[in-house]
Amino acid sequence: MLVLGIETTCDETAAAVIYRSSQGLGEIRSNVVLSQFAEHQLYGGVVPEIAARAHAELLDGVIRQVMDEASLNFSELDAVAAAAGPGLIGGVIVGLTTAKAIALVAAKPLIAVNHLEAHALTVRLTHRVAFPYLLLLISGGHTQLISVEDVGRYSYLGGTVDDAIGEAFDKTAKILGLPYPGGPAVERMAAAGNPKRFNLPRPMLRRPNPDFSLSGLKTAVRLEAERIAPLSDQDVADLCASFQAAIVDIIVDRLRVCSGMLRNSAWRSRALVVAGGVAANQTIRDALEAVAAETATPLVVPPPELCTDNGAMIAWAGAERLARGFVDELGASPRARWPLETTSAPA
C-alpha cells in the first residue's frame, strides 16, 4: 500500500509517502520536512499562532513536492494519514483538514494518527522490531515510558509530572543565554564543562514508579546561575555539563525501575526502543546503551531524521493501522491532548 502522511503538530511542516508491502516491509518514497526555526528563533521557543500560520502557508507546497518526488498522483494512494494530535491545536487543524480534503476529493480512506503512536511505530519501519517492546519517548513535548504491545495497544508505565526532558533542555538554554533550539546548544557547551562542579538535584530518583520530574532541576540551574552571575563561558559550560549529567542519572534510574517492574515481561527479550528528538544526544545514548546491556536487551534507535517530527512516521503509522482495517470518518476531530494508551480502533 501507498500512504501519504502529513505532520503539523508543532513547528515542522512535513509530509511523506511510504510504501508498505504485504509482508510488512516499509520503504520511504519521499519525505520532506520544512523547519520553522527562523520564525521562532527570535522568541526562544515555538509560538503557536506563528506555527499555525506557517503550516497554512507551506503545507500545500510540501505535499506537492512529496507527491512529485514519489511520481504519484492522489488517485494512486491507498490512504491519506495526518497527525490528529496531540500537539498545538492550530497546526493540528491545518494538517488534519488538508488530509480530509485530499481524502474526500480522491475518495481515499482517512487515517487520523496519534502523533505519539507514530513515534512508537517508527522503529518498525526502519528495523522491523517485533511486538512487544519498551518505548522511551523523549522529546520537546513528551517524556514517557510505554509498553508497545501491538498497533493500537499501548500501556502507559510512567511519564513526566511537569516538564518534558526536551523542554527542560530548551529552558535551561534560555536561562543561560544559549540559542534556540536549546538541546543541541546545551550538549555542545556540556562537552567543554565539568559535570561535577554543581550539585544539581535528581528529582524522583529511586521512587518506586518510573515517573519523571524536571521542573525542580530547571529551577536549580536558574538559582545557581543567579548565584554566580555574571557568568563566564566556563560557568555556562559547567552548568550545562552538570545539568546534562543530572538528566542522564534520572533517565538511567527511571529505566532501571521500569525494568524491575517488567522483570518477567516479554519486552525484555525484544528491544528497548528510544524515539524523540532528545534521542540525538550522544551522552544520553551512551547511557542508554549501558542500561540496555545490563538487561541484555537490544537498544534500537531510528535514524536521527526519523526521531524528530516528520511525515514518514505519520504515513507509516497510517499504513500499519490501515493494514489492520483501522480507518477514520471524515469527522475525526483534532486533539490538543490525546494519551497514547487510549489509541485503539477508531471510535
Same structural domain, 243 and 319: no
List the Cα angle 234/223/226 in 5-degree steps. 60
Q: What are the CA-CA distances from residue 253 to residues 209, 246, 247, 259 (Å)?
A: 11, 11, 10, 10
> pLDDT tens across 15-54, in order?
999 999 999 999 999 999 998 777 877 777 788 899 999 9
Same structural domain, 191 and 236: yes
Rounded-to-integer distance, Cα 18 and Cα 81, Å: 11
Arithmetic mean of pLDDT, 229-244: 98
Note the pLDDT of residue 346: 55
Same structural domain, 31 and 167: no
Rounded-to-integer distance, Cα 30 and Cα 16, Å: 5
Closest C-alpha to 66, from 50, 56, 53, 77? 77
Note the pLDDT of residue 235: 98
Note the pLDDT of residue 347: 42
Same structural domain, 70 and 104: yes
Same structural domain, 104 and 171: no
Note the pLDDT of residue 42: 75
Note the pLDDT of residue 50: 93
Instruction: Name residue 15's beta-bridge partners.
Output: 6, 32
Note the pLDDT of residue 267: 54
Note the pLDDT of residue 45: 75
- Which CATH number fits the domain that encloses residue 79? 3.30.420.40
Closest C-alpha to 344, from 117, 174, 168? 117
Arithmetic mean of pLDDT, 122-145: 93
Same structural domain, 71 and 214: no
Note the pLDDT of residue 311: 98
Asked whether residue 250 is domain-assigned, the answer is yes
Q: How many domains does the chain have?
A: 2
Lowest mean pLDDT among 91-100, 268-277, 290-299: 268-277
Same structural domain, 81 and 96: yes
Closest C-alpha to 258, from 214, 302, 217, 292? 292
Q: What are the CA-CA distances from residue 47 to residues 37, 214, 278 (Å)?
A: 11, 22, 20
pLDDT grade for 161, boundaries at 50, 70 and 90: very high
Average pLDDT, whole number, for the chain? 93
Rounded-to-integer distance, Cα 51 and Cα 40, Å: 8
pLDDT grade for 180, boundaries at 50, 70 and 90: confident
Lowest mean pLDDT among 117-121, 133-137, 266-270, 279-283: 266-270
Closest C-alpha to 133, from 318, 22, 274? 274
133 versus 181: the higher-pLDDT residue is 133
Note the pLDDT of residue 82: 98
pLDDT at 345 over 60: no
pLDDT at 137 over 50: yes
Q: What are the CA-CA distances from residue 311 to residues 66, 113, 136, 161, 330 (Å)?
A: 10, 11, 20, 28, 20
Q: Note down the domain range covering 219.
A: 132-301
> pLDDT tens across 286-310, in order?
999 999 998 888 999 999 899 999 9
Is residue 120 within 8 A of residue 107, CB to CB? The reply is no
Instruction: Confirm whether pTM is higher than 0.85.
Output: yes
Rounded-to-integer distance, Cα 295 and Cα 278, Å: 22
Same structural domain, 147 and 247: yes
Arithmetic mean of pLDDT, 259-264: 78
Same structural domain, 162 and 267: yes
pLDDT grade for 264, boundaries at 50, 70 and 90: low
DSSP annotation string for 275-300? ESGGGG-HHHHHHHHHHHHHTT--EE
Same structural domain, 252 and 322: no
Same structural domain, 102 and 164: no
Q: Which three cell numbers stand for residue 148?
A: 508497545
pLDDT at 343 over 80: no
- Write out the H or E segment, with its range, that includes residue 101: helix 89-106
